[in-house]
A and B are shown apart, each in its own frame.
Chain A
Amino acid sequence: QSVLTQPPSASGTPGQRVTISCSGSSSNIGRKAVSWYQQLPGTAPKLLIYNNNQRPSGVPDRFSGSKSGTSASLAISGLQSEDESDYYCSTWDDSLNGQVFGGGTKLTVL
Chain B
Amino acid sequence: EVQLVESGGGLVKPGGSLRLSCAASGFAFSGYSMNWVRQAPGKGLQWVSSITSDSFAKYYTDSVKGRFSISRDNAKNSLYLQMNSLRAEDTAVYYCASEVISNSALDFWGPGTLVTVSS
Contact = CB atoms under 8 A, between A and B. Distances in A.
9 contacts: A32-B104, A33-B102, A45-B97, A51-B102, A97-B59, A99-B50, A101-B44, A101-B45, A103-B44
Contacts of A37: 45, 106
Given A47-B105, A97-B59, 15 more contacts: A33-B103, A33-B104, A35-B106, A43-B111, A44-B95, A45-B97, A47-B106, A54-B102, A88-B45, A90-B45, A98-B60, A98-B61, A99-B35, A101-B47, A104-B45
A104 B44 CA distance: 6
Main secondary structure of the interface of A (DSSP, over half): strand
Interface of B: 35, 37, 44-47, 50, 59-62, 95, 97, 101-107, 109-112
Contacts, number: 71
Given A90-B106, A98-B59, A47 B45 contact: no
A99 B110 contact: no
Interface of A: 2, 32-33, 35, 37, 39, 43-47, 50-51, 54, 56, 86, 88, 90-92, 96-104
A45 B62 CA distance: 23
Contacts of A100: 47
B101 A99 contact: no
Contacts of A44: 95, 109-112
A3 to B, nearest CB: 10
A106 to B, nearest CB: 10
Contacts of B112: 44
A50 B100 CA distance: 11
The 9 closest A-B pairs by CB, nearest first: A50-B105, A99-B47, A44-B109, A104-B44, A92-B104, A35-B105, A101-B45, A47-B107, A50-B102
B104 A91 contact: yes
A56 B95 CA distance: 20
A33 B59 CA distance: 18
Contacts of B111: 43-44
Nearest to B61: A98
B33 to A, nearest CB: 10
